[in-house]
Amino acid sequence: MKIHLHAGAALLALLPLAAQASLSYTISYVDPFNLVSAYRPQIDSHIGAAMGAWGSRLKNSASIEIEVRIASTLAYASGFSATSGYVGEYANGSLWQQGMAYEIATGVDPNGDDADVVIMLNPGYVAHQLWFDLDPVARTAPVGADRTDAMSVFIHEIGHALAFNGWGNGINGAPPAGYGSTWDQFVSYEGSNMYFNGPQAMSVYGAPVPITQGNNFHFGNSPASGRPGSDLANDLFNGWMFYNGQRYGISALDEAVLADTGTELAKQVPEPAGAALFMAALAGLFCARRRRRTAA
Ligand SMILES: [Zn+2]
């Protein structure tokens, strides 16, 4: 992975540390046939550890309601915010932040007591493919060689609820006319490939970040595809494969996407003018209109 450290990074150690934020949470299940009852303690502990992993990187705290839906209609897993929060206007129309991120940024829960985050799991995937960690915080035991690391999956899915989502299609990244997400606003298409152009993500990667063709809201493309971004194979948000036996964690690039999409990080990072304007716009907003998420 190409990581280009900012020239000012060495100075950051001299700055006072921000207070540690935390993401508190509740977990409820929609599992009417009790297909994952035996796994609930592990799912709970992994979601908690995943919330801790993200929370430790954030400036602000929040209390997030998480709903785990067990469904055989999807093959593996998915995660998303149940709603979005209106944060302003942009070239395509109204601009919407993922509901979880909106709540973290504003302190306003955009949908009250309803679930903020939905994590969907195929029960067979849980039972036969995921590898649950005895210590999902430490993450030191060898991952089962023939299994997918469950912590990687839960961190990834919660990341979708924070930032990696929108209404843009998988071909050119364009959302429908009139609205888009804080991710969608930064997606470009040069005729054959999509790129993420958030200023902080580009600063970390050193260039516009290739988006997975056919799987928007993810980074990179497989070497076999011949498309750009094969160097992102080990990123938590690579959009083609979680290899068995391998752990994935939150990268500097993933953190930069949070910053670009309106989530303030605990660590101090250079703030581009565009981001400063965006946060100023966010601070002035009080309404929390509902919009259902429609993209995968
Ligand atoms: Zn994903």
pLDDT in tens, 133-176: 999 999 999 999 999 999 999 999 999 999 999 999 999 999 99
**Average pLDDT of the residues in 200-220:** 98
Report residue 285's pLDDT band, with 50, 70 and 90 as the boundaries. Answer: very low
In a domain, 6, yes or no: no
pTM given for the model: 0.85
Per residue in 39-54, pLDDT (tens digit) is: 999 999 999 999 999 9
Q: Is residue 207 part of a domain?
A: yes
Residue 268: its pLDDT value, please?
A: 60
Distance CA 219, CA 224 (A): 15
- Is residue 112, in this structure, part of any structural domain at all? yes
State yes or no: pLDDT of 283 exceeds 70: no
Task: Dig out the tokens for 296 from the structure.
Answer: 């995968």
Q: Tell me the angle at which helices 40-55 and 150-162 cross, rounded to the nearest 10 degrees.
A: 50
Distance 139 CA to ligand 1 centre (A): 21
- Count of domains in the chain? 1
On whether the CB atoms of residues 219 and 210 are closer than 8 A, the answer is yes
Does residue 20 or residue 89 have the better pLDDT? 89
Spacing, Cα 117 to ligand 1 middle (Å): 14
The answer to whether residue 289 scores a pLDDT higher than 90 is no
Q: Give the Å distance between the CA of 29 and the centre of ligand 1.
A: 21
**Amino acid at position 86, single letter:** Y
Rounded to the nearest angstrom, the distance between the alpha carbon of 218 and the centre of ligand 1 is: 6
User: What average pLDDT does the segment 185-192 reach?
Assistant: 98
Residue 2 lies in a domain: no
Alpha carbon of 254 to ligand 1 centroid (Å):
12
pLDDT of residue 258: 98
| Domain contains 293 | no
The domain in which residue 93 lies consists of 21-283
Give domain status of residue 201, yes or no: yes
Query: What is the pLDDT, as a whole number, of residue 20?
Result: 64
